[in-house]
Amino acid sequence: MLMKVDELNKYEKKLMGLIPPERIQKVDFPRPPKELVEAFKEFEGLTPTVSDVLDSLGIKGAISASRLKPVVKGKKIVGPAITIRYIPESITPDYGYLQKERAKLADRDVYALGEEGDVPVFDAKSLGDVSVQGGMSTLVAQKWGMAGNIVDGGVRDIDTIYKLDYPVWSTGQTPITGKYRVEAMEINGPITIADVRVNPGDLIIADDSGVVVVPFEKIEVVLEKTKEAVKKEDEVLKLFESGASIEEISKILPPSKW
């Protein structure tokens, strides 16, 4: 069901009116408990382990860093998804500038509807080398407490992203503005990034290896299986360091599963 306008009243001081209210699918939706989010953050080398866990559960949720590259390396984020979907504008940039048309980027409105620690996820893969996030967008996202952005599309003002030290993963870096080139079609509806489905409230995990999407209803089981996998790997490493035999090590984790 589409959002009713009066449901957005509590956000009126932050919303900038960049997208028609009827295109906002939802504001209130289940998010993972903060203690679960914090539990994931404790692990190192997180996305490869979670990717393996998702494979074991038959869930397609991992995206490599060759597809979604970290703009600032060395970052790790874990948080619930909020989503925005873009399509190409129907006018040309020349016409838009000449007629002083209203730009239809809505990144700052998705931030306005988010909670501290949320991860804005952008479905803009149909737009080619066009930016849907620039320096001002990055500043607002950081100021309003977003954990980091996942952009299946282009970003620009890379020097500003570096300066703010804000976590961003994207499929491209470009100087080309999205103004008069893109239109926000929906906020907080289901989207896809790199052929992986993302719903608002799904858990997003990203580091230098890539991005994984954990469906909301599977977060607890994925956390438990991640703990088990990390424990076994730690035990194997300790046995190797102690000079244990392959037979001893295989009892903990068979070599075929290393």
Known binding site: residues?
Answer: 156-157
| Bind-site residues for Mg(2+) | 157
What residues contact residue 152 under an 8 Å CB cut-off, 6+ apart?
A: 68, 121, 122, 123, 124, 125, 170, 171, 192, 193, 194
Q: Which residues are annotated as a binding site for substrate?
A: 156
Provide the residue type at 166 as one letter. Y
Token representation of residue 32: 């993972």
Q: Which residues, at least 6 apart from 131, have a Cβ–Cβ distance to it below 8 Å?
A: 153, 154, 155, 156, 174, 175, 176, 177, 178
- Read off the DSSP letter of residue 39: H
How many Cβ atoms sit within 10 Å of the Cβ of residue 48? 14
The sign one gets for the Cα dihedral 92, 93, 97, 102 is positive
CA distance 248 to 224: 25
